[in-house]
Amino acid sequence: MSKLLSKYHAPNQGKRTQHITPETADWGYVHFAVYELNVGEIITLPASENETCLVLVAGKATVVTPQQRFEKIGERMDPFERKKPYAVYVAPNEMMEIVAETQLELAVCQAKGKGSYPTRLIAPQDIGAEQRGNGNNRRYVHNILPDDQPADSLLVVEVYTDEGCTSSYPSHKHDTDNEPQETYLEETYYHRLNPPQGFCVQRVYTDDRSLDETMAVYNKDVVMVPKGYHPVATIAGYDSYYLNVMAGPTRKWLFTWEKDHQWVNGKEYAEKHASR
């Protein structure tokens, strides 16, 4: 199995199903975890030097920090409802208590912070939505914490891709600190499939192919992208959702297309598929 793939496991005693750290991923910035709680269960996350974005993937919760209390937030019970999520930005050095008001699937996205911004609620009306691409390369995006919204390090986005379509494509990379062309950003993909027995395919590869991994990714698995291109392809019958977390030395999303496939962004491809 690829070292870039973290398989889903049932909740442990701490209710955690995924746990990615700089130490386990062999990188420097991104921390990512997922928790699954039953109604009434509580988890407490310790204060640290990291800023945090709590994303309610599914379910409702009450979130308490030393400075804030957000009561019974959340709306969607399943990410495939395609409603915008609720999220909470938590400043560094604040502990967090999360109470599950319903069955809860909670993503904890973290990277080192500077304490520049206070804890705040990110409600659905605060989240931008857009369609990207055309034809079999179309996908739908919720920009939870993009680079034009306040944070020190974190970038967080969720993406929907219909069956039989590609996503994170044409292939692009953000592994070189070379502004204004590109920024260095590590990235995790938390995958969900509908129906849940399905899978998708993700490839992670570099120009010189010193890294070239292709993975069958199942429901609730995580793919780590330390460098290189990282497209996703869905399979007939199964829609895809993934939650992306990115962080690096500069909080800008600047990337480079793989030249061989950049033509898919062009007018000819769009016009070809507009008539279908």
pLDDT band (50, 70, 90) for residue 129:
very high
> Which residue has tokens 């034809």?
135
pLDDT at 272: 74
pLDDT band (50, 70, 90) for residue 269:
confident
User: pTM of the predicted model, to two decimals?
Assistant: 0.96
Q: Could you report the per-residue pLDDT of 29-60, keeping only the tens digit for each?
A: 999 999 999 999 999 999 999 999 999 999 99
pLDDT of 238 over the 70 cut: yes
With a pLDDT cut of 90, the percent of the chain lying above it is 93
> Distance between CA 242 and CA 13 in Å, rounded?
25
pLDDT at 276: 53
> Distance between CA 26 and CA 140 in Å, rounded?
31
| Interval 158-179 mean pLDDT | 96
Average pLDDT of the chain is 96
Provide φ and ψ at 165, rounded to 5°.
-115, 160
Residues 224-247 as b/e (b if ≥16 CB within 10 A, e otherwise) read bbbbbbbbbbbeeebbbbbbbbbb
CA angle 189, 191, 131 (to 5 degrees): 80
> Distance between CA 98 and CA 237 in Å, rounded?
35
Q: Could you report the per-residue pLDDT of 201-215, keeping only the tens digit for each?
A: 999 999 999 999 999
